[in-house]
Amino acid sequence: MNAGPQPVIGVSDVLEKPGKTVIELPCPRTRTTAAVHLDVITKNGLHFEDEFVLSFHMHFHKLLKWLIALPLLTMASVAIIVAQSYGFDAGKSPDRIV
């Protein structure tokens, strides 16, 4: 899919019956954004259009890892700091629970 800086992907399909349909589009090899333009013409000649923007990320799992890990690490650090400020020693069991 190295068709230049703004490749155009065209997909055309004829649907015989109404309902939900899945049409797969090829994904670009680089991180990019694209607009998906949808044209539907019914058998009665009615014309419907829609357009939406997508962001393609081939390595989304790296971003997802940090979106999950950073809040967890931040709250664990805050819990440790708060526990130490109250005099809690992690190596010793407490004498009583308050």
Q: What is the pLDDT of residue 1?
A: 47
List the chain domain ranges: 1-58, 59-92
pLDDT in tens, 2-27: 455 666 677 778 888 888 888 887 77
Helices vs strands, H then E, count in the chain: 1, 2
Query: What is the biggest distance separating any 2 CA atoms in the chain, rounded to whole angstroms?
Result: 80
Distance CA 41, CA 23 (A): 16
pTM (global) more than 0.75: no
Least confident of 16-20, 50-54, 60-64: 60-64
pLDDT, tens only, 32-45? 777 888 888 888 88
